[in-house]
């Protein structure tokens, strides 16, 4: 069906289209060949931007930051997870780390959102919450952020290294298991 041929999200479709334009030489992308956008290093404005955004969140000045889950999107996520399970593929999901001050400004909303989203996943899935205390080495360090929402190049590298550290043993254990016997 047409639905099966379309990308899962508008953002993914736009990124795919933009990449095709890059490949054809029709424009120069701000992203590398893996689709990662380069935001550059942390700047002197990073800490004030984080502080400003955290204060706005605490005061409730940003109504779109309510962490509401759209029922149709949640249904689509559950269907996607079920399809991954049927295929036998490994599923790893993660919540990207926010600067600690921002996490603390939305802690109750973030915890509720996290608990609701996790209901879409099964016990066989790996879900990494990078906003937990053990990942403060990412969220506490201003050098990891370009501004209040995006990683600096340094932070992106640190996040990828941590994902690799966590995921590699899971992949290795999975590869070591014998394949199921088909009658």
Measured CA to CA in angstroms, residue 7 lies from 2, 15, 82, 90 at distances of 10, 10, 17, 20
CA-to-CA distance for 14 and 109, rounded, in angstroms? 29
pLDDT digits (tens, 9 = 90+) for 147-166: 887 888 888 889 999 999 99
pLDDT score for 7:
41
Handedness of CA 177, 90, 118, 94 (dihedral sign): positive
Q: Report the pLDDT averaged over residues 98-123.
A: 89
Q: What is the CA radius of gyration of the chain?
A: 19
Hey, which bits of 50-141 come out as E strands? 92-95, 126-129
pLDDT digits (tens, 9 = 90+) for 1-15: 334 444 445 555 666
Burial of 152: CB neighbours in 10 Å, binned 0-12, 13-18, 19+: buried
Query: Taking 70 as the threshold, does the pLDDT of residue 142 lie above it?
Result: yes
Q: Report the pLDDT averaged over residues 72-81.
A: 92
CA-to-CA distance for 170 and 90, rounded, in angstroms? 9
Instruction: Report residue 118 CA to chain centroid gap.
Output: 14
Angle made by CA atoms 42, 44, 46, in degrees to the nearest 5: 60
What is the average pLDDT value for the chain, to the nearest integer? 80
pLDDT score for 78:
93
Model pTM score: 0.69
């Amino acid at each position: 069906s047409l639905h099966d041929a379309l990308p899962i999200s508008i953002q993914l479709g736009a990124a795919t289209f933009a990449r095709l334009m890059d490949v054809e030489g029709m424009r120069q992308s701000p992203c590398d060949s893996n689709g990662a956008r380069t935001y550059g290093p942390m700047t002197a404005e990073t800490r004030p931007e984080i502080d400003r955004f955290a204060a706005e969140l605490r005061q409730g000045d940003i109504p779109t930051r309510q962490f509401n889950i759209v029922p149709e999107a949640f249904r689509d996520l559950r269907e996607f997870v079920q399809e991954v399970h049927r295929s036998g593929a490994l599923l790893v999901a993660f919540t990207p780390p926010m600067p600690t001050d921002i996490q603390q400004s939305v802690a109750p909303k973030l915890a509720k959102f996290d608990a609701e989203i996790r209901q879409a996943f099964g016990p066989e899935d790996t879900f990494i919450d990078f906003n937990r205390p053990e990942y403060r080495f990412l969220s506490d360090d201003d050098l990891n952020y370009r501004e209040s929402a995006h990683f600096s190049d340094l932070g992106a590298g640190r996040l990828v290294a941590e994902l690799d550290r966590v995921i590699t043993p899971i992949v290795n254990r999975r590869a070591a298991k014998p394949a199921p016997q088909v009658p």
